[in-house]
Amino acid sequence: MTKNQIVVWGSWIIATLVTFLAVLVWGQSFLWQFDAMSSYLLFPLFGLLAFGLMWTHYVAGSLRRAMSVKKSELQQFLNITGYAVLGLILLHPGLLIWQLLRDGKGFPPESYLHYVAPNMAWITALGTVSLGVFLAYELRPWFQDRSWWPWVTRAGNLAMVAIVYHGLRLGSQTQTGWYHYVWLFYGTTLLASLGYNYYIDRQTKEEKV
C-alpha cells in the first residue's frame, strides 16, 4: 500500500470510527428508546458528528503532511465530509432553536436560557460564535487569496478548541462515561495537530527566507 493510499484510506477509516462512536454514545444516552425521541434528544447527535468529522480533517491533514502526501490526494475526502459538516453544524443549533421556538421560548439568545442554567449562557454563546467562524470558513473559495484570510483560519482553530470546552461543559454525552475520555482524546490530539501544523508552517517559512 502506498503512502497516498494509507492517508486516504486512513482518513476514511478514522471518519467512520468517529461517526460510529458518536452514534453509539448518543443511542446509549437514551437506551435506544426511539419511542421517546424528540428534537432535544436528536440535536446533540449532529453536534457530536460535526465535531468528530472536523477533528478528522485536522488529524488527516497532519498525517498527510507527516507522510509528504499532496493535499489533492485528500480532496475528495475533504469535499464529501466538508459538505456533511456544513449540514451538521447547521442542524445542531438549528433543531434546538426550532424546538424552543415551538415550545414558546422565543428566539436566541433568550430562548437558550430556558435550556441551560444562566451561568452557562456564555458557553452557549461561545458555541454560537464558533458556528459563525465555521460558516465564515465556507467562504474560502472566494476569499482565500486575500491577505486577511489566514486570520479566518486561525479563528477556525480557536473555534475548534472552544467547541471542545463547550462540549465538556454542556454536552450530556461528553461530560461523563466512556465518551468523556474519547472527547478528552479529541481535544488532546487536536492541540497536538495544531502544534504540529504550526511547527511545519514555521519551518516552511524559514526555508523560504
Residue 151 has a pLDDT of 93
pLDDT digits (tens, 9 = 90+) for 4-34: 999 999 999 999 999 999 999 999 999 999 9
Return the biggest CA–CA distance within the chain: 63
Region 134-162: mean pLDDT is 92
Question: Which DSSP helix (H) or strand (E) runs through 6?
Answer: helix 3-29
Percent of the chain with pLDDT over 70: 98
- Structure confidence at residue 70 as a pLDDT band (50, 70, 90): very high
C-alpha span between 103 and 13 (Å, rounded) = 40
The one-letter code for the residue type at 182 is V
Residue 205 has a pLDDT of 67
Residue 17 has a pLDDT of 98
CA-closest candidate to residue 189, choices 71, 88, 62: 62
Report the number of secondary-structure helices (H) and strands (E) in the chain: 7, 0
CA-closest candidate to residue 14, choices 59, 66, 74: 59
99 pLDDT exceeds 60?
yes
3-state secondary structure 146-209: CCCHHHHHHHHHHHHHHHHHHHHHHCCCCCCCHHHHHHHHHHHHHHHHHHHHHHHHHHHHHHHC
208 pLDDT exceeds 70?
no
Residue 114 has a pLDDT of 83
Q: Work out the end-to-end distance of the chain between its first and last CA atoms, rounded to an integer number of angstroms.
A: 36
- Residue 43 three-state SS: helix
pLDDT digits (tens, 9 = 90+) for 162-176: 999 999 999 889 998
